Amino acid sequence: MPIKVDYVVRETTSNLGRNITITLASIITVAVSLALVGASLMLRTGVENATARWQGGIEFVVFLRADASQTQIDAVQNELNSSPEVDSYQFVNKEEAYAEFKRLFADSPELVDSLDAGDLPPSFRVEPVNKEVDAVDSLGSQFTKSPGVERVVFASKTIRLIQQLSSRLTVGIFVVAAFLLGAAGLLILNTIRMAMFARRREIEVMKLVGATNWFIRVPFMVEGLVQGLVGAFLAIVALAAFKPFFQKWLPNPEDIPLVSGFTVGGGEMTFIFVTLGVVGILIGAIGAGVAVSRFLDV
Amino acid sequence: MITLENVTKTYKNSTIALRDANVEIAKGEFVFLVGASGSGKSTFIRLLNKSETPDEGHIYVAGKDIGQLSNWKVPFLRRNIGCVFQDFKLLPTKTVSENVAFALEVIGRPRSVIDAQVPAILDLVGLAHKAESFPDELSGGEQQRVSVARAFVNRPLILLADEPTGNLDPATSVGIMRLLDRINKTGTTVVMATHDRGIVDTMRRRVIELDRGSIVRDQARGVYE
């Protein structure tokens, strides 16, 4: 039996309006918790981008001159291959360096336009076997004098500290957000339970005259989904409005050497927003699903 | 139309509501269930539309063993069974005509069918002029007529009535009984639980008497006791 859309819309809006205060409470809780999740995802993405070349145990980067010849590059590579102190390394050629630059500075097109692939130096990102500061220093310094090498840049304590801080902060925010999301789910569950209580006479009659279980359930399910979705939408609006400040509040990359900007690109924001939308829908669906299966005795 | 085979129903507090009941009700019959409060009349009615399930025995409605009916099919069983109660169960926020239309709406009947059938059934129960009134603007008898209209608008095979005249004065009750009698004459099987001696003795239909869950009398053209 088809369930008429206009029926569901009418029932859902009247349910939402009937319990407007508790509906608002659940929407706000969903919005706040999802905004926290989104903010911590933004923070993590920002730090990852800023420290992009320092991930996975990379301790120093050998930047070659932009005009280094292939022979010079090969020589440095041989040196890396033969050194027992080098655990692994990664060669980033001019095109890859430019692609990464474009990604990290996607928000500043004038900066991207002012450079082209030829201007960026190729580099080797090196992960040493021994990660003690002294050992890394002496290994890295060996390459400074090699022909074609512009300079060697070391991961500083600052970068490790930023990475550590951001990962702990992300975990902390996620834990708080998880509790809030749980609370939001329970609030949605109770909102729907109240809506069902308010409509208990209608539900009784519907059962008596032979309305199908899904016909009775669907408006309540949609009510939960709407609450989750509206909460997610508010969180997305808040984060979109907050994003310009986010970039201003974080330390300027020029104050900390070695990192790129704390940027979060458009594609990454879209991913975060989609995540929030999906989580919002899930919370609404779970809250409503539990409510209709537990309290709607059909 | 309705068959009970060795049906027993015990509630959790170990009250035996129905004990080894065997009943056969033919299509188009009119049956009174009589007995003291707590004798199992309501349980009998509730078993027929699967509001309760029996502990033992089989119940056949329209040829189907409703004990075997899976949950999702129960609504379709109920579309063939109209129900009328002592307390009417009308929705106070809806008008008379909306209350009746609601029963068709929630089983997915198209608007055109609803618009055609609701006025017709209100005419049948004699309430066409009160279509736009709200239940609390009606007398008890009128409210029960609305409830009968709602139960019958879908033309069910069976009409179950649990003390439909319990809240009504004798004169009003007669009106309701005339209505149920008319519905019965269209071929609908009517099963009615009642305490109303006057009605049972006047109508002289089949009487099934229950005492503490057991059927103690099953009499064609019977009286109250």
Q: Does domain A59-154 correspond to CATH entry 3.90.650.10?
A: no
Q: What is the ipTM of this complex?
A: 0.88
Number of A/B CB contacts below 8 angstroms equals: 53
Burial A182-195 (b: 16+ CB within 10 A, else e): ebbbebbbbbbbbb
B interface toward A at CB cutoff 8 Å?
49, 71-72, 75-79, 83, 89, 91-92, 102-103, 105-108, 150, 154
**What's the confidence (pLDDT) of residue A3?**
65
Is A1 at the interface with chain B, CB within 8 A? Answer: yes
Three-state SS string over B20-54 comes to EEEEEECCCCEEEEECCCCCCHHHHHHHHCCCCCC
d(CA A182, CA A113): 46
- Name the residue ranges covered by the structural domains of chain B: 1-79+162-224, 87-154
Query: Which among A283, A285, A248 is positioned nearest to A264, based on CA atoms?
Result: A248
Residue B219's SS3 state is strand
Q: What length is written for chain B? A: 225
The yes-or-no verdict on residue B74 having pLDDT over 80 is yes
- Whole-model pTM above 0.90? no
Three-point CA angle A34, A37, A43, nearest 5°? 140
Q: Average pLDDT for residues B46-69, to the nearest whole number?
A: 91
Q: Mean pLDDT across the stretch B146-156?
A: 95
HSE, CB side, 13 Å, CA atoms: give it for residue B211. Answer: 4
Bridge partners of A95, per DSSP, are none
DSSP string, B123-183: HHTT-GGGTTS-GGGS-HHHHHHHHHHHHHTT--SEEEEESTTTTS-HHHHHHHHHHHHHH
pLDDT of residue A9: 85
Q: Is the pLDDT of residue B104 over 80?
A: yes
- Chain B nearest-CA distance from A290, in A, is 18
Amino acid A247: pLDDT: 67
Q: Which helix (H) or strand (E) holds A222?
A: helix A213-249
A211 part of contact set with chain B, CB < 8 Å = yes
For chain B, the straight-line distance linking the first and the last C-alpha, in angstroms and rounded, comes to 26
Residues of B in contact with A17 (CB under 8 A): none
Q: Which CATH number fits domain B1-79+162-224: 2.60.40.420, 3.40.50.300, 3.40.50.170, 3.50.50.60?
A: 3.40.50.300
Letter for the amino acid at A259? V
- The residue ranges of every structural domain in chain A are 5-51+159-297, 59-154
Please count the CA atoms within 13 angstroms of the CA of A137 that sit on its side-chain side: 5
Q: What is the pLDDT of residue A152?
A: 82
Please tell me if residue A205 touches chain B, with a CB cutoff of 8 Å. Answer: yes
pLDDT of residue B134: 96
Q: Assess A204–B contact: CB distance below 8 Å, yes or no.
A: yes
Per-residue pLDDT of B34-56, as tens digits, reads 999 989 999 999 999 999 999 99
Shortest distance between the Cα of A1 and any Cα of chain B, in A, equals: 7
pLDDT attached to residue B5: 94
**CB–CB of B193/B41 below 8 Å?**
yes
pLDDT tens profile B3-38 = 999 999 999 888 889 999 999 999 999 999 999 998
Examine the pLDDT at B207 and tell me if it is beyond 90: yes
Question: In chain A, what is the straight-line distance between the N-terminal and C-terminal CA atoms, in Å?
Answer: 17
- Give the integer Cα–Cα distance in Å for B141 and B160: 18
* pLDDT score at A214: 86
Q: What averages of pLDDT result for each successive group of 10 residues across chain A (298 residues)?
A: 73 81 90 91 82 73 82 83 83 81 71 74 82 77 80 76 82 88 90 88 91 89 93 94 75 52 76 94 93 77
* Measured distance CA(A141)–CA(A174) in Å, rounded: 40
